[in-house]
Structure formats: structure tokens, C-alpha cells
Structure 1
Amino acid sequence: MRLLSATLFLTLLAATCTAGAAPLPAPRQVDIPATGLTLHAQLYKPDGDGPFPTVIALHGCGGLGGQSEPVQPRYRDWAEQLLKTGHAVLLPDSYGSRELGPQCRVKEHRVLARRERVADVNASRKWLLQQPWAARDRISLMGWANGASAVLWAVRPQLSSRRVEPDFRSAIAFYPDCRISSGLGWSARVPTLLLIGAKDDISSPQACRQMVDGARGRSALARIVIYPGASHDFDRANLPLLAIAGTDAALPERGHIGTDADARKDSQQRVMEWLAR
């Protein structure tokens, strides 16, 4: 482990212990004006006036919330970690805002990562730039699976908006599907970190490696970490490795998902380092 990683981890651990058992704030729903709809989002914000560094976090194809909760535990877990380091977290609900359920097994997608979800990202950033508690120059992107694919599209130089400044500070993509982007000569205009497992048989670590390697020399800083032995959803807590089966609309059609404790721990440290750049 690098010294920086170890130092940061100890700092985060100390901050967690200092916080004790104090409950973290519950999210509140905010409504964001967007083209053709009102984008509903869940907001976690530290106490105080800020300005706070803020992360726009993009859910995967299973959607943002569960049957009885506005934010699934996997995203709430990350939001709570980010809150402890002083970040606000905005989670736009790309499916619920369009009165749609999970989209993992939908053959004809009505919400595309490269179009509707990028539009949601831009509407979220525009809204954040108007909030006095948000640090305008420290708004970052983070996404998982389909949301991570949207991150890759949102940071392409061709999609830069000259009318909405400043730009994103950085971006983080957990196990995106890189196969289309790899074939289109992907590059990024902001520092972008990709995290994926070597045994991910839902996304393609090989395509992600090819995509990042192909961007060298014509992109902002782009790095990829491929975790040996890790599968899709490696950062989720307490999820035994399992083969996807059945007709659960909130899961991909095939492949394996499950926690990898070492990759989960390392990714948490790397995310905090990347956001602190």
C-alpha cells in the first residue's frame, strides 16, 4: 500500500471514530428542472452552510431506490462515506423521474446512458452551480455500471458545455460497459478513474483497458485499476458471490456479482484520494 493511501485511510478511520454513533442525515428529495421533465434526486448534505465539495452519483440499471426506500443500501453506503469526508452527494433518479422501473433487462431502452442520462448529469450540475452551499469548482461525477457508462459519455471533450462553468473537477466510473466507447476513440476532458474487476463477466475489463490505453496522449488524466479476482459489484457490502439467475428486472441477464473485500477497501481509499486531488 502506498504511503498516501495508508495515511488517508488512517485519517478516514480516525474521523469515523470521532464521529461516534451520531446518525448521519437522511437524504431529502430535490426537484431539478430538466428538458421535458422534472428530475427528482436525493440529496445528502453535511450540516452547515458550506461550500461543500459535491459528488453527482449515478445509479446502475437497477435504479436508485428500493421498494420501501428512496436510496438502495449500496448507494447509501457510499453517500455515508462521502459525507464523513465533508462531501455533499446528489443522486439523480433517472428512471423514477420518468416513471420507469429497473432497466437491466429492457430490450428497447428508453433511457440511454449517452443521451438521457448525460442530460440528467448536465441538469444536475447546472442546478448545483446555483446552490450557495455547493463548491462550484469541486463538483465531481461518480457512477456504477450503467451510471458509470453515462459518466464516460458525460466527460468526453465533445460534450463540454461552454455555457455551464466551471467544469467537473473529476470523475469516477465503477465497472462501466466500455465496449462502445472503446470503439469510438474515447477520451476525457477531466481526470477520470475507472475501477473494475478482472473477473467481471458483465462489463468488459479488456475493453476498458483498451479504451484507457487508447486515450493516452489526447486526454485528460485517465487511470484504470483492474482488481484480480474481483467480479461485478465488488464494492457492495456483504454480497456473497453469486451467478445471476431468474428474471429479476433489477439485475443483468447473466454473469456474476459479489463483494470482493480487498477490492472494496482499496476502491474506497482510491475514491477519496481521487476526489481530494
Structure 2
Amino acid sequence: MPSLAKIAATIAAIAALLTGSATACLGTDLPEGRLVEIENPLASSQPLQGYLRQPRDAGPLPAVVLLHGCNGGWRQLDQRWGKLIVSWGYVTLTVDRFGPRGLSSTCTGGPPPATVFDAYRALDFLVQQPFVDRDRVAVLGFSQGGLLALTSVEGGMIERISNDKFHAAIAFYPPCLGIKDSMTVPTLILIGELDDWTLAKECRNLVEGRDDYGISRQKGLGVPIEFIVYPGAYHGFDVPGLATPIQFLGHRLEFNQAARDQSVDAVRKFLYATIGGQEK
């Protein structure tokens, strides 16, 4: 087993790679975003913060909450996807799940229990903004953030006790093992065929109505999941900084240009079909 120091060094190296993976030229007319406090610091000992981007269009507009993976890197996620999605006419809020909690990585375990409501805490912030249409907000997560996106819209306790609801969800290469309930809103899962960290077959079981042991779930419940598997793609296929593949905790991370391009098109079409926005 690698030492903690080696794991920390690898995480730092990945962060450096992600820093250089900003979205390619989107033009210079994009509005600047701003760091926001998602909730009043007095309301929580660990108040969330995030990076908010708002199109120049008049509102109220559809919006997307973005959730980073187990390595953190919310700034890089905003650069990679926040900038792109706001250029399509959506408000974006990229959540920093780690900073307020003093975390740097949660890759050797599951998401901390304190983070499971973060998507809804971000949603609560967005629906209070006059430029956001509260009935057209989606959640988009990556890897561990993808798991949190799915658990935010499956028919369990988290979704039931939340006042406002997401109206769509997207998960990039999420760990699907352990998701027990059906989805309550249109959901899109995108994953690499060769992903050896979050396995496509586990997500296929979820999509096709089987549980983790291959046993059928109750039929006819929930909203169908759209499922896309990209041939030849590994974990992190949308991250240009991984053009040179790396091994991390025994798993291969690798950028795949074809899968990235196809996923951009899939996300745009899915968002337009579910919460509206600019048609391609």
C-alpha cells in the first residue's frame, strides 16, 4: 500500500494537471464569475462556498450545480465545465465541498456524511436568486461528485426531505454500486468502457433495473436513466490535463478527446431537453 506521503504527492500532481486543463477558447465575451458564500456563516460551522457564473441574458434562467470529485479541484472544474455551460445560457454554481471543511482528498473512502446534502444546500442558494428559475435547476457531478448527484435525485431520504427539487441530474463516471432507489428526475450517466475505478457494468445494472447482485428491482418505478458508455475511455476522460495517462490508487486516469467531445454534445442536448436553455 502506498504511503500517505506518496498519496498526497500524487494528489498534488493531479491537481497541477487539472490546473492546466481549462476549457479551450470560448471567446472573450464570457461574463466573469464570483466567489459566493452559499449560506450564512452564522447558520453553519462549516458554511459552503462556491463559484457563481451568470450569463448576460435576462433571467430567470435555468441553472446547474457542479460537484467535484474526491480530489477537490472546484476551480479547475469551473474552468473546464462551468465556463462552457454558462456560455450555453445557464447559471452555474461550482461547489467547494472541501475548503470549508479543511479537506484535500477523500479518495481512499466514500464521501464524508457531512457532504451528502451539499447539492441541496447549493440549490437552496440558487433558488433565492432572482435571475434563477427555481423549476429549472440540474445537478452535475464527477466521480464521487457524480455519486452525490445520483443520491440527490434517487427516491431516498435526501430527496424527500428537501423543499426544492432538482429537475435533472448528470453523473460522469460515478460509483454506481450501492445506489438502491430509482431516480426521481431525468438522469444521464456517462462512463468510459475501460474505467477500472467506477465500473460501467455496475452503472448498467442500475440503469437496467438490477441491484448490485443482479437481482431485479421493482419494475416500473422511477424515471428511466439515459446511459452512455464511451469505447476505449478510462476514468477522467473529460480532463485534458490527463492527456498523458497516470496511475492513481491503482487506477488508470486518461483523457480521451473523442469521448470528451461526445460528452459535451450529450450534456448540452440533455440539459436543453430537461431544463431548457439555448438550442444547439
User: Is 2:173 aligned against 1:164?
Assistant: no
Aligned to 2:50: 41
Gapped regions of structure 2 (runs ≥ 5): 1-23, 210-216, 274-280
Listed as ranges, the matches of 1:1-277 within 5 Å are 20-33=27-40, 35-65=44-74, 71-72=75-76, 74-105=77-108, 111-112=111-112, 115-158=113-156, 159-161=158-160, 164-165=163-164, 167-181=165-179, 185-214=180-209, 217-244=220-247, 252-277=248-273
- Cα distance, 1:36 vs structure 2: 4.2
Query: SS of 2:137's equivalent?
Result: strand
How far apart, in 2, do the equivalents of 1:20 and 1:35 lie? Answer: 38
> C-alpha deviations, 1:172-195, integer Å up to 9, x for none?
0000011122xxx33100110000
Count of residues in Structure 1 that have an aligned counterpart in Structure 2: 239
How far apart, in 2, do the equivalents of 1:218 and 1:227 lie? Answer: 27
How far apart, in 2, do the equivalents of 1:205 and 1:258 lie? Answer: 16
How far apart, in 2, do the equivalents of 1:269 and 1:163 lie? Answer: 31
- Cα distance, 1:145 vs structure 2: 0.3
> C-alpha deviations, 1:62-105, integer Å up to 9, x for none?
1134xxxxx01x44121111111111111111111212112223
How far apart, in 1, do the equivalents of 2:238 and 2:181 lie? Answer: 25
| Structure 2 letter corresponding to 1:30 | E
- Cα distance, 1:163 vs structure 2: 5.7
Aligned to 2:18: none
Aligned to 1:13: none
Query: SS of 2:178's equivalent?
Result: helix
Query: SS of 1:160's equivalent?
Result: helix
| Structure 1 letter corresponding to 2:55 | P
In 2, are the aligned partners of 1:60 and 1:146 still within 8 Å (CA)? yes
Greater mean alpha carbon deviation, residues 213-222 or residues 197-206: 213-222
> C-alpha deviations, 1:20-65, integer Å up to 9, x for none?
4335414333332465421111111113541121100000011134
How far apart, in 2, do the equivalents of 1:117 and 1:42 lie? Answer: 17
How far apart, in 2, do the equivalents of 1:210 and 1:161 lie? Answer: 24
How far apart, in 2, do the equivalents of 1:60 and 1:143 lie? Answer: 7
In 2, are the aligned partners of 1:28 and 1:44 still within 8 Å (CA)? no
TM-score for both structures, normalised by structure 2: 0.78
> C-alpha deviations, 1:249-274, integer Å up to 9, x for none?
xxx41211111111111110110111
In 2, are the aligned partners of 1:25 and 1:46 still within 8 Å (CA)? no
In 2, are the aligned partners of 1:46 and 1:88 still within 8 Å (CA)? yes
Moved over 3 A (4+): 33-36
How far apart, in 1, do the equivalents of 2:58 and 2:35 lie? Answer: 16
| Structure 1 letter corresponding to 2:185 | V
- Cα distance, 1:133 vs structure 2: 0.9
Gapped regions of structure 1 (runs ≥ 5): 1-15, 66-70, 245-251
Supply the RMSD in Å over aligned alpha carbons. Answer: 2.2
State the identity as a percent: 31
Aligned to 1:7: none
